[in-house]
Amino acid sequence: MTTDQGIGIENTDDSLRVGARGPTLLEDFHFREKMMRFDHERIPERVVHARGSAAHGYFQVYESMAEYSKARFLQDPSVKTPVFVRFSTVAGSRGSADTVRDVRGFAVKFYTEEGNFDLVGNNIPVFFIQDGIKFPDVIHAVKPEPHHEMPQAASAHDSFWDFVSLVPETAHMVMWAMSDRALPRSFRMMEGFGVHTFRLVNAQGVSRFVKFHWKPLLGVASLVWDESQKLAGKDPDYHRRDLWEAIEQGDFPEYELGVQIIEESDVDKLGIELLDPTKIVPEELVPVRRIGKLTLNRNPTNFFAETEQVAFCVANIVPGIDFTDDPLMQARLFSYLDTQLTRLGGPNFAEIPINRPLAPVHNHQQDGFHRQTINAGRANYHPNSLGGGCPMLSVGNKSGFVHHPEKLGGQKARVRSESFGDHFSQATLFFRSLSKPEQEHLIEALLFELGKVERKEIRQRVVERILANIDGELVTRVAEGLGLPVPRASVTPKGKLEKSPALSIENLKKE
């Protein structure tokens, strides 16, 4: 053993003291360094997705996707692109239990030869809100309440349901969050979704819209509520252990990358607002094409260095893939870099080994806390004639990132498009797509969660303003179970909704 200065340590068990029973000396540089390092071991946990587990692996495309995207990692089936994947819960703190009812993060960092591409997804294909400016609100409402830091469980409290009852755009996601999808049996048995609509752009500059999916080869499986509650007590590391042990045993988790590709000219026909992250594109309308496979085959060497310090960012993108104007995505493009500046102690976190791209990095960024690179030479500006000029990749070399030249125009205002106005039709679609036992689980989950809400008016608002617009049987069962009046206006004698939304797979197909 040595100190951080490389000086050999002869004894690390006894402090340097005066006499066998005397005080410790300030001179004991080894003690002071050891204690100082320990005192500063913690960094802030992630503001969301604090609890996570990760693994290394690789991604291989099945066949060239050149027709759709020029991204190099999507061209050659013989190329194995290294990846690091972190799974997480959203609401709990770093030490919270794995099996709680919550959304799961599914974040993949592809270390491609053109730089890092991060697909920072969830296991639920939609989100609670449409515009990122509401993210602090929804997260404040989901996290433990500020005065007493309770409850630790994500959804079983007044503030979460208060928010839901007042923000109808949450309806679709709430259906998923109350379903068995929010209780995955294993990280190896859950789907992943990019959620937003992205673009794929080919070498000719043709852009198409795309929704990304991860499909686990083991299939999708969930816990039931009773199991998940018992496990949270008996083995809070249930998912972490499952992932670690499967990989140690050579039972490597595998997921296929799926894409739903939508021609720009088909968007109107589809009739779904692709920029609204509370909407899916039903797979019956646009089938998911499986284009490659992700294999997780190596556990991290050190949890802190890798799982904790990894910094995913929606803005990490490679040529051939591009963003859209989804207002949730636009907010995320800012938020991740911003939070990591604090969480990882300054602007140089891309130099931490787990975040470092395999592609070479050249630019005039310099200095700042924890800088590792030693910039050489005198030219730290562009253009310059003193240091080789530092040519731009996009000049004469097509591999530089060029943003898709989307045409834009409009009035500057805080507005939301009317096309974002339908909050319930896909919530209905989701509920009615479930099997009977799955619907029972969802109703029981609502009764459990809403049953914990102290304020009667909040329960009532959820029933009247949200559930009544989703499904007649659902609202009747929940209202009766909670001892609330069944909102009459919404339910026909057959238990069908009068306000039944227009969107259905049948209607869409007919159109």
Active site members:
49, 122
Contact 155, 449 (CB under 8 A): yes
Q: Which is nearer to ligand HEM, 53 or 69 (CB)?
A: 53
- Which residues, numbered 415-434, are part of the site for ligand HEM (CB under 6 A)? none
What is the spatial distance between Cα 488 and Cα 462, in angstroms, rounded to a whole number? 15
Question: For residue 271, how many other CB atoms are within 10 A of its CB?
Answer: 13
Q: Which is nearer to ligand HEM, 52 or 258 (CB)?
A: 52
What is the spatial distance between Cα 54 and Cα 60, in angstroms, rounded to a whole number? 19
Which H or E run includes 89? strand 81-89
By CB under 6 A, name the one of 121, 168, 258, 282 that touches ligand HEM: 121
Contact 368, 348 (CB under 8 A): yes
Q: Which is nearer to ligand HEM, 335 or 380 (CB)?
A: 335
- Which residues, numbered 170-229, are part of the site for ligand HEM (CB under 6 A)? 195
By CB under 6 A, name the one of 9, 43, 47, 505 that touches ligand HEM: 47
What are the residue ranges of helices labelled H in 146-266?
158-166, 171-177, 225-234, 238-248
Q: Which is nearer to ligand HEM, 86 or 477 (CB)?
A: 86
- To ligand HEM, the closest distance from the beta carbon of 354 in angstroms equals 11
Question: For residue 402, how many other CB atoms are within 10 A of its CB?
Answer: 13
What is the spatial distance between Cα 281 and Cα 269, in angstroms, rounded to a whole number? 12
Asked if 239 touches ligand HEM (CB under 6 A), the answer is no
Asked if 253 touches ligand HEM (CB under 6 A), the answer is no
What is the spatial distance between Cα 18 and Cα 6, in angstroms, rounded to a whole number? 26
Asked if 295 touches ligand HEM (CB under 6 A), the answer is no
By CB under 6 A, name the one of 132, 236, 282, 292 that touches ligand HEM: 132
- To ligand HEM, the closest distance from the beta carbon of 88 in angstroms equals 5
In residues, how long is the chain? 511
Q: Which is nearer to ligand HEM, 86 or 157 (CB)?
A: 86
CB proximity list for 324: less than 8 A, separation 6 or greater: 196, 197, 198, 199, 209, 274, 275
- To ligand HEM, the closest distance from the beta carbon of 195 in angstroms equals 4
- To ligand HEM, the closest distance from the beta carbon of 317 in angstroms equals 14
What is the spatial distance between Cα 178 and Cα 187, in angstroms, rounded to a whole number? 18
Asked if 46 touches ligand HEM (CB under 6 A), the answer is yes
Binding mask 90-119 for ligand HEM (x = CB under 6 A): ---------------x-x------------
- To ligand HEM, the closest distance from the beta carbon of 262 in angstroms equals 18
CA distances from 211 to 67, 94, 277 (A): 17, 30, 11
State the number of binding residues for ligand HEM (CB under 6 A): 27
Question: For residue 363, how many other CB atoms are within 10 A of its CB?
Answer: 9
Name 85's bridge partners: 55, 108
**Region near ligand HEM per CB under 6 A, out of 35-43, 47-55, 483-491, 497-505:** 47-55
Asked if 57 touches ligand HEM (CB under 6 A), the answer is no
By CB under 6 A, name the one of 167, 232, 311, 491 that touches ligand HEM: 311
Asked if 126 touches ligand HEM (CB under 6 A), the answer is no
**Helical axes 436-451 vs 225-234, angle rounded to 10°:** 60
Residue 276 token pair: 């609204």
At CB < 8 A and 24+ separation, what contacts does 233-238 make? 233/97, 236/95, 236/96, 236/97, 236/98, 236/99, 237/98, 238/97, 238/98, 238/99
**Region near ligand HEM per CB under 6 A, out of 233-241, 251-259, 334-342, 500-508:** 334-342
By CB under 6 A, name the one of 267, 331, 434, 484 that touches ligand HEM: 331
Quote the DSSP letter at residue 495.
S
**Region near ligand HEM per CB under 6 A, out of 239-247, 309-317, 419-427, 453-461:** 309-317
- To ligand HEM, the closest distance from the beta carbon of 331 in angstroms equals 4
- Which residues, numbered 338-377, are part of the site for ligand HEM (CB under 6 A)? 339-340, 343
**Region near ligand HEM per CB under 6 A, out of 25-33, 198-206, 224-232, 332-340:** 332-340
What is the spatial distance between Cα 438 and Cα 501, in angstroms, rounded to a whole number? 22
Which residue has the closest beta carbon to ligand HEM?
A: 105
Asked if 305 touches ligand HEM (CB under 6 A), the answer is no
CB proximity list for 282: less than 8 A, separation 6 or greater: 429, 505, 508
- To ligand HEM, the closest distance from the beta carbon of 143 in angstroms equals 13
Which residues of the shown chain bind ligand HEM in the complex (CB under 6 A)?
46-49, 52, 86, 88, 105, 107, 120-122, 127, 132, 135, 195, 310-312, 328, 331-332, 335-336, 339-340, 343
